[in-house]
Amino acid sequence: MNTAGSLPGAMGLGFTKLSKGLAAVLVAGFVVAKALPFTVDYLALVPGKTIPFTWNLVTAGYFEHTFIGLIVSIAGVLYYGRLLEPVWGSKEFVKFIAFTSFFTTICTFVTSIFLYYVTGHENLLYTPTAGFHGVLAGFLVAVKQIFPDYEINVRQVIKLRAKWLPSFLVLIVLVASFFLDNPIVYVPFIVFGTYGSWIYLRFFQRRSEANFKGDASDEFAFATFFPEIVSPVVKPIAIVCGKLCCGKRAQNLDGQDPAYVLGGKPLPGSDPAEATRRRERGARALEERLSAASKSDEGVGGKSTDTIACKTNPEAFCFLSKTQYLMFGESRSGHQVRAPSS
């Protein structure tokens, strides 16, 4: 298991064009907000004005009107862009951001209206809410999916596995909401960004090489966001919520965790035994590839960056084809594999 303080794969790679473009959009929105302050009411989510200004359901997720929010969002999109885009490809990266952002703003709008009718507080309707932090929370869910066992050390004092990052963020935000003013401006975006990104990755993200959608593994079930002691309570609730959000995609199959079905049969990748066999085949093929590359390098006196790094550096990634990536998962030596961008 990796133990460095930064996620592997994000080191030594340049920022992607797409992430730099998103950063430019965030900067442009901030400049507009400072030059023309009245635009905040039109570009941010203001539930009391969303009808007829429905476009703010789209613009609010990419509009930063505070300096701190801008800095955090730019750093986040650049970092996670170079970490996730090479794995998913640009198209899936854009789809993930678009789905998470829109899901976040829609749910925040509905929540604000509901709370207004319950409490009668008008600030719930007219407080501008905007920012990229919903998507940033979603990026942590993606890290949980791809690097669940990666351990992050903070000065050897705080040690946290990547699979707990989304839960830790939500917990901190919920606790902070009791001590800070206007929690409505950040709590819903963080919570719904986390849940919306999980829905997309769990049920909708397309894996074209394997011809199926989503991630039906038990390791990515909704209950894994919570301590095991509460799993028996969370699982039934998660199944009901999944059915409401995703219909048949979240059906419980033969008493197992929600899986994807097609004609009453699990789709490829949803069977744990099949996943284990794929990992074993992948491990053997990966070892053969490394052995062949090592012999080749001895003959030419050079080193192959896509294979030798995986042997010599425990934090390095093996760059394989996307089909191999879907098959292999994780080698027996614990090295992660990642597909290059197309």
* 221, part of any domain: yes
Domain ranges, residue 94: 17-255
* 129, part of any domain: yes
Compute the distance between CA of residue 18 and CA of residue 336 in angstroms, rounded to an integer.
24
Summarize the confidence of residues 44-69 as an average pLDDT: 92
Weakest-pLDDT range from 184-193, 217-226, 295-304, 321-330: 321-330
Ramachandran assignment for 160, one of left (phi > 0), alpha (psi -120 to 50 degrees), beta (any other): beta
* 297, part of any domain: no
- Which of the given ranges, 6-15, 155-164, 177-186, 286-295, has the highest pLDDT on average? 177-186
* 156, part of any domain: yes
* 6, part of any domain: no
Q: In the chain, how many domains are there?
A: 1
Weakest-pLDDT range from 92-106, 108-122, 181-195, 220-234: 220-234
pLDDT digits (tens, 9 = 90+) for 57-80: 999 999 998 999 999 999 999 999
CATH number at residue 126: 1.20.1540.10
Residue 314 pLDDT exceeds 70: no
Q: How far apart are the first and last CA of the chain?
A: 28
Residue 200 pLDDT exceeds 60: yes
* 134, part of any domain: yes
Percentage of residues in the chain having pLDDT higher than 90: 36
Whole-angstrom Cα Rg for the chain = 22
Bigger pLDDT: 157 vs 97: 97
The beta strand positions in the chain, using DSSP E, are: 151-154, 158-161, 206-207, 212-213, 261-262, 265-266, 318-319, 337-338
For residue 180, the model assigns a pLDDT of 82
* 71, part of any domain: yes
* 293, part of any domain: no
Nearest of 183, 13, 8, 25 to residue 97 by alpha carbon? 25
pLDDT digits (tens, 9 = 90+) for 130-156: 999 999 999 999 998 888 878 776 666
Summarize the confidence of residues 294-305 as an average pLDDT: 50
pLDDT digits (tens, 9 = 90+) for 244-264: 666 555 554 333 444 444 444
Contact 133, 125 (CB under 8 A): no
Compute the distance between CA of residue 128 and CA of residue 104 in angstroms, rounded to an integer.
15
